[in-house]
């Protein structure tokens, strides 16, 4: 709560100005019926035209003032609500950037998107309505009743009774919509989640001819949302005509009682028109306030959902004395060491990694291979600290990565994830994502090392060729090579390839590995390769074989072929008999 309220602090006086201008506008509107009543009573009925012109000019002046204050109110209210929504959206986005992978799983990407867009929009709209309708409503009602009592005390009591009855009925009807508003946000989350899945998985859906199934699934979600929305609108369908009926009944009461007073000579006819205007304006204001009040629970639900995002402390945080970015940490360079590392995913029954220990030094290539679920990608994700180890240490240049700031740690790592993702833009902008100030020469050199320069040059616009979101207009191999170039251009100490050669043909794979070996020797970097194919790691200085989260063997290809059963089994599944005999010899 404090974090969100703190965002409102810079705009408190702007909000006060918005409310004051709204009140001034409403007072001007309430003042007009009184002037009109005087024109009828003291001017028109007595034939005093100079007085009519004089008071008409006053009405015109008040009307102009009312228009000016309304514009000022709208400008100030728009400024404060838009600025607050901007700051809130930025705060939620920045907070989400601090989350670890485990933190993201607590909300889900679809829910985070909904909270950052739809929820904040609802809060912004509700805030605007509160400033312009809800807060001025009590002042309007009080001023209107005072003016009504000044016009005629008895009629003032009648108006107060009408307003009280109308407000009570409106609230009793409207309160039924409050729980429905909360349900709408939950249904919107589900709708966004399914829509995101369908758009992201459109190729799989078409490949398995599941369009009809997905239509029904999405249609079912839409129907759930629609049903709640219809129930809400049904309440409004009853509420608004009811308020209109009550307003008209109030006008009839004023005409009835006012007509009796006029016939008795206790009230002038102009006062009846003034009272009708007072009642109409007050009831309209009260009605709008009730509608806003009904909207508040929905905004409150959104508010609470945003609070959850802002209040969640990231699982992975920098220590207060974490080493900042820049400079050498120790005389050691480009050395990665795992010391008795164990790790278990949240809510998992068993550990994914158990007592993993190895060291990779500058100029060396360390490969990690194993069966599905053996923990290969987990090791890759632990290096840039996407997750924190449960036991043991991971050291870079002799320093525990938990003693480094996350910015410093990741500046030393070139990470290529298993699932390649490119951003909407150009090929050059995607490669430059690894280093913002990279020159064209650096970009081309990184692309050449990644074996991407040839196909990029063959494109009509070369490095300025368009890339769709996710790289959907490129092949899997092209995306992987651009992602590799993105990591290479930053020239880090440690390269981590999480099965990043899977979409490459054998020829390109071999050329890329050769270029990478030269790269790490020239730059004094170390290379970590997570792979499925033995052909990718044959020439590695060190191969780590994982089996059910434990190290089954460490050594070169030839050494493992002689003394590691798990590695032999993997080799037997990928190499021919002649190749196996050759390797064993």
- pLDDT surpassing 80 at residue 298: no
Non-local CB neighbours of 580 within 8 Å, separated by 6+ positions: 571, 572
- pLDDT surpassing 60 at residue 204: yes
pLDDT of residue 43: 59
Cα separation of the two ends of the chain? 70
Per residue, what are the HEC states of 54-104? HHHHHHHHHHHHHHHHHHHHHHHHHHHHHHHHHHHHHHHHHHHHCCCHHHH
Q: Report yes or no: 551 and 358 within 8 Å, Cβ to Cβ.
A: yes
Two tokens, residue 170? 């409106």
Mean pLDDT of the chain: 83
Positive/negative CA dihedral, 390, 396, 400, 406: negative
Two tokens, residue 283? 């009831």
Most confident among 23-37, 39-53, 526-540 (mean pLDDT)? 526-540
- For the chain, the residue count is 585
Using only C-alpha atoms, the chain has a radius of gyration, in whole angstroms, of 36
Two tokens, residue 369? 């291979």
Strands 399-400 and 391-396: antiparallel
Q: Is 530 helix (H, G, I), strand (E, B) or coil?
A: strand
Q: Report yes or no: 455 and 504 within 8 Å, Cβ to Cβ.
A: no
pLDDT of residue 508: 85
- pLDDT surpassing 80 at residue 548: yes
- The packing angle between helices 153-174 and 269-311, to 10°, is 30
pLDDT tens readout for residues 32-55: 777 777 777 665 555 667 766 777
pLDDT of residue 383: 92
pLDDT of residue 307: 87
Rounded distance between C-alpha atoms, residue 557 and residue 533, angstroms: 12
Rounded distance between C-alpha atoms, residue 564 and residue 369, angstroms: 12
pLDDT tens readout for residues 423-446: 999 999 999 998 888 899 999 999
Q: For residue 45, how many other CB atoms are within 10 A of its CB?
A: 12
Task: List phi, psi (to 5°) of 99.
Answer: -70, 150
Q: Report yes or no: 566 and 545 within 8 Å, Cβ to Cβ.
A: yes
CA 382-491-438 angle, 5° bins:
120
Two tokens, residue 573? 């599944």
Check residues 585 and 269 and name the one with the higher pLDDT. 269
Two tokens, residue 386? 């996407």
Question: What is the DSSP secondary structure assignment for residue 404, as one 8-state letter?
Answer: B
Non-local CB neighbours of 44 within 8 Å, separated by 6+ positions: 52
Burial readout 454-469 (b: 16 or more C-beta within 10 A, e: otherwise): ebbeeeeeebebebee
Question: What is the DSSP secondary structure assignment for residue 550, as one 8-state letter?
Answer: E
- Report the phi/psi class of residue 442: left, alpha or beta, with left for phi > 0 and alpha for psi in -120 to 50: alpha
Residue 356, beta-bridge partner list: 341
Two tokens, residue 554? 């460490």
pLDDT of residue 585: 40
pLDDT tens readout for residues 381-397: 999 998 889 899 999 98
Rounded distance between C-alpha atoms, residue 325 and residue 404, angstroms: 8
Rounded distance between C-alpha atoms, residue 381 and residue 496, angstroms: 9
pLDDT of residue 584: 47
Mean predicted confidence (pLDDT) in 501-521 = 82
Rounded distance between C-alpha atoms, residue 353 and residue 546, angstroms: 9
Non-local CB neighbours of 534 within 8 Å, separated by 6+ positions: 369, 557, 570, 571, 574, 575
Rounded distance between C-alpha atoms, residue 555 and residue 541, angstroms: 8
pLDDT tens readout for residues 91-137: 888 888 888 777 777 777 777 888 888 888 888 888 888 888 888 88
Rounded distance between C-alpha atoms, residue 564 and residue 223, angstroms: 58
pLDDT tens readout for residues 308-367: 888 888 888 877 776 665 555 666 778 899 999 999 888 777 889 999 999 998 888 899
Burial readout 569-578 (b: 16 or more C-beta within 10 A, e: otherwise): ebbeeebeee
pLDDT bracket for residue 379 (50, 70, 90): very high
pLDDT of residue 328: 55
Q: Report yes or no: 386 and 101 within 8 Å, Cβ to Cβ.
A: yes
Rounded distance between C-alpha atoms, residue 414 and residue 490, angstroms: 7
Rounded distance between C-alpha atoms, residue 188 and residue 49, angstroms: 62
Rounded distance between C-alpha atoms, residue 149 and residue 279, angstroms: 12
Burial-class residue 263 by CB neighbours within 10 Å (0-12, 13-18, 19+).
exposed
Q: What is the dihedral of CA 154, 155, 161, 162, to 10 degrees?
A: 170
pLDDT of residue 309: 86
pLDDT bracket for residue 192 (50, 70, 90): confident
DSSP string, 124-139: HHHHHHIIIIITHHHH
pLDDT of residue 44: 55
pLDDT of residue 464: 92
pLDDT tens readout for residues 255-288: 887 777 777 777 777 778 788 888 888 888 877 8
């Amino acid at each position: 709560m404090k974090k969100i309220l703190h965002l409102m602090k810079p705009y408190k006086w702007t909000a006060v100005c918005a409310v004051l201008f709204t009140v001034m506008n409403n007072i001007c509107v309430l003042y007009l019926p009184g002037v009109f009543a005087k024109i009828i009573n003291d001017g028109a009925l007595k034939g005093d035209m100079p007085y009519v012109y004089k008071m008409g000019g006053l009405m015109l002046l008040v009307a102009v003032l009312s228009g000016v204050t309304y514009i000022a109110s709208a400008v100030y209210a728009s400024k404060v609500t838009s600025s607050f929504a901007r700051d809130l959206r930025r705060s939620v986005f920045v907070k989400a950037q601090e989350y670890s992978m485990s933190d993201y799983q607590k909300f889900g990407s679809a829910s985070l998107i909904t909270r950052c867009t739809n929820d904040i929009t609802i809060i912004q709209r509700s805030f605007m309505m509160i400033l312009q309708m809800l807060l001025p409503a009590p002042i309007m009602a009080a001023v209107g009743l005072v003016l009504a009592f000044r016009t005629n005390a008895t009629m003032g009591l009648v108006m107060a009774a009408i307003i009280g009855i109308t407000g009570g009925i409106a609230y009793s009807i409207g309160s039924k919509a409050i729980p429905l508003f909360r349900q709408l946000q939950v249904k919107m989350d589900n709708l966004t989640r399914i829509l995101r899945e369908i758009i992201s998985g459109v190729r799989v859906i078409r490949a398995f001819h599941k369009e009809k199934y997905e239509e029904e699934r999405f249609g079912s979600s839409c129907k759930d949302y629609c049903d709640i929305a219809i129930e809400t609108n049904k309440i409004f369908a009853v509420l608004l005509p009811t308020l209109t009926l009550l307003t008209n009944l109030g006008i009839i009461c004023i005409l009835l009682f006012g007509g009796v007073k006029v016939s008795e000579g206790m009230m002038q006819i102009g006062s009846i028109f003034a009272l009708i205007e007072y009642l109409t304006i007050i009831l309209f204001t009260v009605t709008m306030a009730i509608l806003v009040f009904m909207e508040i629970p929905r905004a409150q639900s959104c508010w609470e959902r945003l609070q959850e995002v802002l209040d969640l402390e990231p699982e992975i945080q920098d220590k207060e004395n974490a080493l900042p970015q820049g400079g050498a940490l120790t005389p050691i360079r480009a050395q990665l060491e795992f010391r008795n590392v164990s790790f278990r995913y949240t809510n998992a029954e068993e550990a994914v990694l158990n007592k993993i220990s190895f060291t990779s030094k500058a100029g060396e290539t360390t490969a990690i291979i194993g069966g599905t679920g053996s923990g290969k990608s987990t090791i890759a994700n632990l290096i840039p600290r996407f997750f924190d180890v449960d036991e043991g240490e991971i050291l870079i240049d002799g320093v525990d990565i938990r003693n480094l700031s996350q910015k410093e740690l990741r500046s030393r790592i070139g990470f290529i994830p298993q699932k390649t993702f490119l951003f909407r833009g150009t090929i050059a902008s995607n490669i430059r994502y690894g280093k913002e100030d990279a020159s064209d020469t650096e970009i081309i050199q990184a692309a050449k090392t990644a074996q991407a320069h040839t196909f990029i040059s063959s494109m009509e616009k070369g490095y300025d060729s368009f890339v769709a979101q996710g790289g959907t207009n490129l092949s899997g191999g092209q995306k992987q090579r651009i992602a590799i170039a993105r990591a290479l251009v930053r020239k880090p100490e440690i390269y981590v390839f999480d099965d990043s050669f899977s979409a490459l043909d054998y020829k390109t794979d071999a050329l890329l590995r050769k270029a990478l070996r030269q790269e790490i020797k020239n730059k004094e970097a170390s290379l970590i390769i997570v792979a499925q194919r033995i052909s990718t790691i044959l020439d590695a200085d060190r191969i780590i074989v994982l089996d059910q989260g434990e190290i089954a063997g460490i050594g070169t290809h030839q050494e493992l072929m002689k003394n590691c059963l798990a590695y032999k089994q993997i080799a037997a599944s990928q190499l021919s008999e002649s190749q196996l005999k050759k390797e064993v010899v």
